Structure 1
């Protein structure tokens, strides 16, 4: 039985093993990692012999910790990474290729409709009526999208937003406010089974679910990397941010907005970006936080999205999909009942 796990920003860990009478046997751990002393690898493999196949990541990690000699150094990987590789070999932990992904790249809709579609499609995946899905958004107007737990008056200059005809909506995920205009951002959502990230911490799942897009950006010449908890950034500044919500314990909504060619001056007019937040990002002004994908690639926005889709398919598989009429209808109903209501927008004034 064979399993692999690529550590985000690190090395590949490979587990090969057999199962005899419900227990692990002939366990071999390999990979392109570094380990000192080298003899510790034999200790790692021997410690897993005879462990029950139903062992959790925590069980495996605990056993591995006891096996390591004092002062052992694991470079480019971790004991948790070994545990995930082992569970993948056992068929307990899933990888991207275990699912038949659909990729949706559909027409522009209103900001509220996008938020409703996120809710509907996540629930459809949770119910088993829809396959795991990657959806790219098209914005049809300028908007500010505030996080689920943000204070509206603290984050948005409501008068400026009205004067500039910028719509304000609230999403179901946490995180910070985003400013978008038509054709200026690249936004996508993943509706994924939680089995894909079941063996990871909540924080680690962010980087894992966006690893494919980092590879796509790297392929376009951007030295993109992940900055915990939820920022995609580069040596030239922040590119985008991610947010998550878990549905019914079996589906995760993970969505990201990246700046392509944003109007920083307008963004600063409508968003109240405080000094504390800016100091946390290590920048002196809000404008410097917007580092558009366009300036680093010189490519048209659609060409960047096409490259992202190609990278996802090459790494994880996938085929073209569509939003069904029933899903659109359910989202329209949700817009009226929730996402376009003052009660939802102002529930944290």
Structure 2
């Protein structure tokens, strides 16, 4: 069996192995990484040999680290170990993929959903519905692009309502406030000023990755698509995407006990910053700190850097994903929309949920 893992921003790690009596045998590590001294490669192979096939990623990584540390301590190596472009966890992920316990993009067919405009709370409820359906096996992995006609503020699951939202601004601009199921920060979203998608994937796709690594892994295709549109995008911090001109996007995640992962991103296309600072308290502080408060100020990284209409940007993102992954066009089922509307009524529109963190 063979497993491969391309480290985000790093090198390719490959592991060939066999399994006998539920134990790893004939383990052989390879790749285009850099490793010193040469003998460390054999140390890693020996450290993994004999491990149970069910060994979790973290324990496999510890076996690699402990084996190298022991070899250094006993003088079995000609010098200190240097792993460049990969690490012990990357090796463990490649092992898990060889065993079929961790998957790659190519192992899945993604359903692409573009249902058209929906109310903001319905959009948030669909995140929960589709993620739960993947966990229960009712639907496969999905990529869903959002559309909406209302002004809305989406706040993170753990944010304080009163610290984030200005009630007077919300009333003045007829804004719907939505608390989503994922963490992260608040976002002011008018129709046409943002690009948002939700990606629902099995936990096996991010098996062994830290949260920070999983953000970069799941957003890599977005950076490639932005690059094709002329945007010099890069990862910034744990869950943001930025360019030399500033922040472009932010991502958030929610992982369910059933093994499904919700990952979504909102990209700023052309935001009315003055309106945003009237609606979001934290937005007001951030804009003030950066000295960018002014009449008619706009935050428009995607519009200004691509020169493309918002719909064209969405089309390019969808085209890039379809060209690089196995996909099929799909649609929301009536029962899914009904379930989402029921969640709006019983959860997302209730004061108990909206103000669960006062």
TM-score normalised per structure 1 = 0.92
1:226-241 pair list within 5 angstroms: 226-241=235-250
Distance 2:17 2:36 in 1: 23
Q: 1:78 aligns with which of 75, 83, 87?
A: 87
Deviation at 1:276, TM superposition (A): 7.5
Worse-superposed segment, 102-111 or 189-198: 189-198
Contact 1:238 1:289 in 2 (8 A): no
Matched, 1:159 2:168: yes
Give the equivalent residue in structure 1 for 2:179: 170
Give the equivalent residue in structure 2 for 1:258: 267
Distance 1:54 1:341 in 2: 43
Output one character per residue of 1:51-79: Cα deviation in whole Å (capped at 9) or x when no partner: 33222222321221133254211111111
Contact 2:235 2:242 in 1 (8 A): yes
Instruction: Give the 3-state SS of the residue equivalent to 1:273 in structure 2.
Output: helix
Matched, 1:310 2:331: no
Distance 1:24 1:45 in 2: 10
Distance 1:197 1:339 in 2: 28
Instruction: Give the 3-state SS of the residue equivalent to 2:3 in structure 1.
Output: strand
Instruction: Give the 3-state SS of the residue equivalent to 1:87 in structure 2.
Output: helix
Output one character per residue of 1:249-306: Cα deviation in whole Å (capped at 9) or x when no partner: 3111111111011112211221112788679xx9444789945212111122222222
Give the equivalent residue in structure 1 for 2:101: 92
TM-score normalised per structure 2 = 0.89
Q: 1:294 aligns with which of 286, 303, 312?
A: 303
CA pair 286-58 structure 1, distance change in 2 beyond 3 A:
farther
Deviation at 1:311, TM superposition (A): 2.4
Distance 1:181 1:84 in 2: 40
Worse-superposed segment, 15-24 or 107-116: 15-24
Give the equivalent residue in structure 1 for 2:75: none
Output one character per residue of 1:7-65: Cα deviation in whole Å (capped at 9) or x when no partner: 11211111122333433233222222222223322322233233332222223212211
Give the equivalent residue in structure 1 for 2:192: 183
Contact 2:276 2:284 in 1 (8 A): no
Instruction: Give the 3-state SS of the residue equivalent to 2:282 in structure 1.
Output: coil
CA pair 187-45 structure 1, distance change in 2 beyond 3 A:
same
Deviation at 1:107, TM superposition (A): 0.7
Instruction: Give the 3-state SS of the residue equivalent to 2:116 in structure 1.
Output: coil
CA-based RMSD of the aligned residues comes to 2.3
1:59-74 pair list within 5 angstroms: 59-68=59-68, 70=72, 71-74=80-83
Unaligned runs of 5+ residues in structure 2 are 73-79
Matched, 1:335 2:341: no
Instruction: Give the 3-state SS of the residue equivalent to 1:65 in structure 2.
Output: helix
Distance 1:157 1:52 in 2: 55
Q: 2:214 aligns with which of 200, 205, 208?
A: 205
Unaligned runs of 5+ residues in structure 1 are none
Deviation at 1:237, TM superposition (A): 0.9
Contact 1:13 1:85 in 2 (8 A): yes
Instruction: Give the 3-state SS of the residue equivalent to 2:320 in structure 1.
Output: helix
Give the equivalent residue in structure 1 for 2:255: 246
Aligned residue pairs: how many?
A: 347
CA pair 332-286 structure 1, distance change in 2 beyond 3 A:
farther
1:273-288 pair list within 5 angstroms: 273=282, 283-285=290-292
Deviation at 1:327, TM superposition (A): 0.6
Distance 1:309 1:184 in 2: 18
Distance 1:104 1:190 in 2: 10
Worse-superposed segment, 168-177 or 129-138: 168-177
Distance 1:137 1:276 in 2: 28
Distance 2:93 2:324 in 1: 19
CA pair 46-248 structure 1, distance change in 2 beyond 3 A:
closer
Matched, 1:43 2:47: no
CA pair 45-278 structure 1, distance change in 2 beyond 3 A:
farther
1:7-18 pair list within 5 angstroms: 7-18=7-18
Instruction: Give the 3-state SS of the residue equivalent to 1:210 in structure 2.
Output: helix
